[in-house]
Structures are given as structure tokens and as C-alpha cells.
Chain A
């Protein structure tokens, strides 16, 4: 099973993460961590007319959390920010090719998605409080 988890693509994103770093003057910066593992993810977003014009992540943690964050940035770059609402847990697990993760490690894979969704809510809280409120009520969000 370890061979299934630590495939070439995970190791590639872990060692050569895409869109890693900070964005100066980002429209949204949001941070969260996974207390179990100590994985940390910051996401920086530049948003123009509702579109993600730039996204970067910064963080430290296990291969799964960091590779998953790297792949997520590629997934949503140039997409509407509200796309984040519709990305599900299964979408992420399929995207990174790990559908058999145990409950402890699933949290590693999903941390960056959680941070992106928090970032979306934060962005709309400033711009459109009503939209943000509706988003927060959305039970599929987190």
C-alpha cells in the first residue's frame, strides 16, 4: 500500500511544489494547521472580478499535505473563486490519486482544500457579506 501512496506524482509535487511561495499584497491570506500532524498551509489569493488570477501556497508538513496543496493550486488557477465551493473531498482524493487513505491521513490530504474554502468565505465576507453568510451555511463547505 505504501507503494500506492508514495507514487512518483506525489513525490514530484512534494519535492517540486507548484505555485509555492507568497504573494505580496494578496487579496486574501489565510492559514490553518492540522493539530494532529502539525501540517501547516497558508494560501495567498489574487482575485479579479471573481476569478482567481494568482494562487500560491506556503507551508510545511508531510508529503500528502504538501503535494495535495500543490495540486490544488493547479486545479483552481484562473478559475472562479466560487469553484472552491463545489470541490468535494472525493474530487481531491481522486485528483491526487489516493482514494484509500485512512481517517488520520485524509486530514492531511484535505487541509489545503479547507484553507481555500476558508479563504473564499473570507474574501466574500469583506465584499458581499450576504454571499459569505450563505456560503458559511453551506454544509458541504467544510
Chain B
């Protein structure tokens, strides 16, 4: 069953892993919020780099080094265009979104956060958007406030406004645009506009949103954005930090060494210009180059089509899942307010037991706290099961999943 939005039969042929059989059954991959599968064009791009022009970038003058440098920098330009940034200088390659957040908490945070300052997060943040700020706050004697979420996972903007009105020392808001555990999408544009009336910068954790929604940093006007290539068809080991040029220019370097310098003397060093100031050492050249093919692939399909495809799958899955007895679904019911992520619990079956049963049916789902233990405490559960979709998923796969849930219900005698 193809969705009305995407030709999934055609798309699936581009992903070698989807032809795999596990336990003799066709592989159903429903853990895309964790990482997505890679199309052949991305895999080939990496093979080509190592086979044809493997060399270090930004240094040597011979032909293949120039080819590698051009390919690496071309990805930067494509990323810039993909999120509609002003300049490729605002695009910094890191290892992952986590490192992008750490870069800012370390560099911007240590320069700008002082004793008694306030950093505002929410209860549904991923650990990677909590722990770096916690460490910074402890070091500086600053404070963290967590915006509460209601039972459907939505924020209350009045609470944010209250903090901004009553704390003169609020210095940063850092929020995930889409929750990795619930899939809820927050009204990020409203939040940014509100924050900017108080002159407070906003860091957007886009790890879940950028792969699934059209992202325009110029119209959003966010100050920072972090995301990971591997959650959007790209290779692992590539993260992206977007920052407004003016802010990045004022920041000290994060990691130091080669490539991030202009001149080094015994007593002092002149740092390189953006974006190289933040890219010390030989970067992950092959995978950055591979990522350009992932962006091409997504552009070819179109982010609007991807979004509509995922809404259609989510709607279908929620309808089918709701028919099962003892099914508890988390997150907002309104499909416009959520991405293609569904967190749930089935009776008293622990998510790890459920994942084990589904694995017998060659279905890969995620079970656990999803690196969001603060959220799990709030929901008063130790864990949930989670399915998450991408461009190659089909309603047929959802049917296989629903049948396997029926098997779990039988085994656990619900």
C-alpha cells in the first residue's frame, strides 16, 4: 500500500537494507527517530570518496585534495540552502547534534552565563539538551528552569512568559522543536519571537524536526540550531551547528588544534575565520561528503511531501492502535502538532518485553526511556515503546506491526 504522497515502492528500492530478511521475515524498520536507513546514493558517495579522491582537505595543492575540499564545502553550501541560512559560514560540522549543543554550552555558555543567571529548558528535552546545561549551571552557579508539559506533551507559553517577566537574568532558552519521545512539535516561532522581545537568544534542538519538517532559520530567526545527518538518510558521525554569524564571531573556539588557526606563535594564536574556527583537526570528510547525497535525495522528494506522508502514516497507525485493548498512547492527538513518532504502552507488558516479541516478527522498534528520563518521570512511567516513520515506511508495515501487537496481547494474556 503506497501512501498518496510518496511512491514508497520506488523509494524502497533505493535502500539496500530494506531487502533484508530477519528470522525469515521481511525487515520492518520503525526506529527512524533513532537513526534512519541510508540510500544507495549516500553509500556510493562515501565509497567514491575513498576509492577516487581520498585526501585531507583545506591544505594540499594536488588535484584530489582540491576535489575533496570542494566536495566537503559543497555539502556546507547545500546545508546552508536546506535550512535557508544566510551564509555557509554559519554552518559548522560537528560529530552529531549532541556535540553541537556541547560546543555552544562550552563556548557561548562560559562567556555569557554568570552566577544567578537562568537557562530555560523543558521537561521533554533529550538528555543531550539537559546535561551540558546542567554542567554549565553547576560550574557558574546558574539556575535551570524546566517548562512544564501537560498530559498531552504540550508546553504552556504563559509559563515561559512568566519566567521572562519575573527573571531579569534569564539568558538562554534551549528547546527541542520536536520531542524525540512523544513527537510533539512546539510552537517554536512564537517562542523565538517572544524571547527576542526580551533580547534572549533561543537554541533550537532540531535533531527530530529538521529531518521531517521544512526548516527555515531565516524566517524562524533562531539563534542556534543543531541537528544530525544520520537521522535524515545521511551517515553517522556528522552533526550540524547553525549559529547566527554575529554570535558565532564573538564566541571563543571549542576544540583547538589544526585547521582552526590562522597563525600560531610561541606565545599566542590567531584563530581562523568562521566556520573553520570551530572545526579543529581533520573532520569526518567522507561522511560529510556522503551527507550531500542525502540532502539531494530529500530535496528531490520534497520536505512537504515527506511531512504529508508521515501525517498519513501516523493517522493510520493511531487509528489501528487505538482499536487494541489496553493501548495507552502518549502525545498530542492533533496530527498537525506532532511528527511521525508514536510512544505507547500496551497493558502491563514492559516495553522491552514488547520489543523482544516484535523482534521475532522482524520489526525494529525502540523501547526504554528514549534518553528523556525527566519526561518519563513526568509521565510517571519507567519506559515506553516507540515507533517512528520515514519516507520508506508503508501502511502494509503498520499492518504487520498491528498483527504482532496482537501476538503480544495473546502471549501476555491481556
| Residue from B348, B349, B383, B412 within 8 A of A37 (CB atoms) | B383
What 0/1 pattern do residues 352 to 380 of B give for CB contact below 8 A with A? 11001100100000011100010010000
What 0/1 pattern do residues 100 to 142 of A give for CB contact below 8 A with B? 0000010010000000000000000000000000000000000
- Pair B352/A62 contact, Cβ less than 8 Å: yes
Contacts of B413 in A (CB 8 A): 11
- Pair A38/B382 contact, Cβ less than 8 Å: yes
| A:56-74 near B, CB below 8 Å | 60-64
- Pair B352/A6 contact, Cβ less than 8 Å: no
| Residue from A2, A39, A40, A64 within 8 A of B411 (CB atoms) | A2
Q: Total A-B residue pairs with C-beta atoms closer than 8 Å?
A: 46
Is residue B5 within 8 Å, beta carbon to beta carbon, of the partner chain? no
- Pair A37/B368 contact, Cβ less than 8 Å: yes
Contacts of B382 in A (CB 8 A): 38, 40, 60-61
Known A11-B413, A60-B382, A61-B382: A37·B352 in contact at CB below 8 Å? yes
| A:34-93 near B, CB below 8 Å | 36-40, 60-64
Is residue B395 within 8 Å, beta carbon to beta carbon, of the partner chain? no
Contacts of B360 in A (CB 8 A): 1-2
- Pair A2/B357 contact, Cβ less than 8 Å: yes
* Interface size classification for chain A: 20 to 34
What is the CB-to-nearest-CB distance from B267 to chain A, in angstroms, rounded to a whole number? 46
What is the CB-to-nearest-CB distance from A98 to chain B, in angstroms, rounded to a whole number? 11
Is residue A3 within 8 Å, beta carbon to beta carbon, of the partner chain? yes
- Pair B356/A105 contact, Cβ less than 8 Å: yes
Contacts of B369 in A (CB 8 A): 38
Is residue B78 within 8 Å, beta carbon to beta carbon, of the partner chain? no
What 0/1 pattern do residues 403 to 414 of B give for CB contact below 8 A with A? 000011001110
What 0/1 pattern do residues 18 to 35 of B give for CB contact below 8 A with A? 000000000000000000
Is residue A28 within 8 Å, beta carbon to beta carbon, of the partner chain? no
Contacts of A6 in B (CB 8 A): 353, 357, 411-412
Closest to A34 in B: B352
The docked-state distance in angstroms from the alpha carbon of A11 to that of B409 is 12
Is residue B350 within 8 Å, beta carbon to beta carbon, of the partner chain? yes
| Residue from A1, A15, A38, A63 within 8 A of B353 (CB atoms) | A63
Is residue A5 within 8 Å, beta carbon to beta carbon, of the partner chain? yes
| Residue from B353, B373, B408, B411 within 8 A of A62 (CB atoms) | B353
Contacts of A3 in B (CB 8 A): 411
What is the CB-to-nearest-CB distance from B347 to chain A, in angstroms, rounded to a whole number? 11
Contacts of B351 in A (CB 8 A): 62
What is the CB-to-nearest-CB distance from B357 to chain A, in angstroms, rounded to a whole number? 5
Contacts of A60 in B (CB 8 A): 382
Contacts of A62 in B (CB 8 A): 350-353
Binding site for A on B (CB under 8 A): 348-353, 356-357, 360, 367-369, 373, 376, 382-383, 407-408, 411-413
A-B contact pairs, 18 of them (CB 8 A): A2-B356, A2-B407, A5-B356, A6-B357, A6-B411, A14-B348, A37-B368, A38-B369, A38-B373, A38-B376, A39-B352, A40-B382, A60-B382, A61-B350, A61-B382, A62-B352, A64-B352, A64-B353
